[in-house]
Amino acid sequence: NQHTKILWCFSSVGNNQQTNGFKELHGLQCIAPLVQTVEETPEPIPARVKGTIPTWIKGSLLRNGPGKFEFGNQHYNHWFDGMALMHRFQIMDGQVTYRSRFLRSDSYNQNSERNRIMVSEFGTLAFPDPCKNIFQRFLSRFEKIKPTDNASVSFIKYKGDYYVSTETNFMHKVDAETLETKQKVDWSKFIAVNGATAHPHIDPDGTAYNMGNSYDQKGVLYNIISVPPAKEGPNDTLKGAKVLCSISPTDRTRPSYYHSFAMSENYVVFIEQPIKMNLLKMATCKLRGKNFNSGIYWDPNQETVFHLVNKQTGMVSPVKYHTKALSTFHQINAFEEAGFLMVDMCCSDDGQAINTFLIQNLRKSGEALDKVYNSLARTFPRRFVLPLNITSDTPLDQNLNTRPNSSATAVCHSKDKVFCTFEDLHSDDLLDYGGLEFPHIHYNRFNTKPYRYFYGCGFRHLVGDSLIKMDLDGKKLKVWYQPGLYPSEPVFVPSPDATEEDDGVILSVILKCSHPHARTFEELGRAEVPVNIPYGFHGTFQSAEN
């Protein structure tokens, strides 16, 4: 293969035994330096370039993630709680500069002003102000928790503008060049939702699709959202956004948690997984003195359900596609072909990981760290094949998947229920790399279309420790791995005038726990940044031509 053979990276600073089909690892390196507070670098600094960086790469790798984990003597509990730190690696004429800024959210500003945690986050409850008297502190436990605007998950784009987002109803418009915070935007001012994911999908015409919940006295509804591609004026943000449809949970008082969703050419695919939210516990967490995430739990006795929504009509398909209990945070791709809808996603057979990523766990060392890692289920890429043309005449209790060389099954149990099993999108060699997460594809050309390649991080640690290129033709993989180096989510950037799907480069921030260092697949160039960078979540490539 002559394509994507370059992995171009930025850098900052045992015995094995088989258990349940997976390798139990021992002697894991402590990664505490990757989850420590760092200083921002608001002015661009040059990176030290080694080798050759292609001059056709013109733009910026934008990254987002937590970068501050305490205020005063108060510490956050969960990795998701840290204050958003935005990063920009500008690439131009074979040179690289780096800058970073903390998002000036209301949460950050209030916490900074009082030098204590003033705003509750996912895994950390803000304690009553010690300056209040005992009676005032008691009454404050009955106050409703306000959603945070700490948008630390990803960079996203609506109507040509860049935003940083989390999963509440707030996101922030930012200047993608200076990383300055520009405007706080509230989804609920435009449509009746109380939040939205940080993983929208974009159609070729620029229309964006997302999902968000709404709440009423009966409980929760899942809502499919669309945002038009064009601005109506220079100050426009989400004007014209609308709810395409609403989906009722199986139990409206215990809806599913979701981080993202899938989309094909004609359908939005919502995966209702048995990671559940106990709304009563969440609503009373402040009264009970418990963290918000204490209301999230895994129910392995419930099935996972795929809901299909027609993007043109907003109609929810009456046919529900079921599978066994599984959890998914990120989908790879979805596409329609010959009457089937293929949904490819990274899945785990257990959904308890979300409450495992406590900062104290990530900072452990020795046997304690090994124990945390070995308690987690691994995540693997899988394909579900959903037959679209289900009618009252569809034969029951037989496999409807007629696609050649596919081991996935889809058995119709009734006119509105199909039970599915998955096909692995990998060979056994992926087990040696701890599975795969943070998937990425050649999005602009192959999202919602049949495709061949995807990229991701291998996880032989609590964070990514390898980069993987998967070839669906033969389910072959290529791996970049160096002990002690921890790559971030890979971002694919196509070569100019690329004709092949994998003709391009992968950008990834590679971190080391000690001094700055970098290596690549077949190394073309490296850019070393002389500052500490914490391990982040998601990002995007901003082309200089856009």
HSE toward the beta carbon, residue 378, CA cutoff 13 A: 24
Concatenate the DSSP letters of all residues of 115-177 into one string: TS--S-BTTBPPPPPTTS-HHHHHHHTTSPPPPP----SEEEEETTEEEEE-SSSEEEEE-TT
Record the tokens describing residue 490, joined without a space: 């890979």
CA distances, 338 to each of 116, 172, 274, 419 (Å) = 58, 41, 30, 19
Q: Rounded to whole angstroms, how far apart are CA atoms 216 and 246?
A: 13
Q: Is 199 annotated to bind ligand?
A: yes
CA-closest candidate to residue 200, choices 215, 186, 211 = 211
Counting Cα atoms < 13 Å in the Cβ hemisphere of 122 gives 24
423-424 β-sheet, strand order: 327-337, 340-348, 380-387, 423-424
Find all residues with CB under 8 Å of 305, minimum gap 6, and list them.
250, 271, 272, 320, 321, 322
Q: What's the distance, CA 140 to chain centroid?
A: 33
Neighbours of 192 (CB within 10 A): 14
To the question of whether residue 538 is assigned a binding role by annotation, the answer is yes
Q: What is the DSSP letter of 257?
A: P
By the 8 A CB rule, do 464 and 457 touch?
yes
- H or E stretch at 463: none
Q: Is 36:531 a contact under the CB 8 Å cutoff?
A: no
Q: How far apart are the first and last CA of the chain?
A: 30
Residue carrying the six token digits 């060699």: 429
Q: CB neighbours of 268 closer than 8 A, spacing ≥ 6?
A: 201, 209, 211, 224, 244, 261, 262, 308, 309, 311
- In three-state secondary structure terms, 282 is helix
Q: CA-CA distance, 371 to 369, in Å (whole number)?
A: 5
Q: Which residues pair with 75 in a beta bridge?
A: 70
Shortest CA distance to 33 belongs to which of 517, 538, 511, 519?
A: 511
Give the chain's length: 546
Question: What pairing do the DSSP bridges indicate for beta strands 320-323 and 417-421?
Answer: parallel
Residue numbers belonging to the annotated binding site: 199, 259, 330, 538
Residue numbers belonging to the annotated binding site for Fe cation: 199, 259, 330, 538
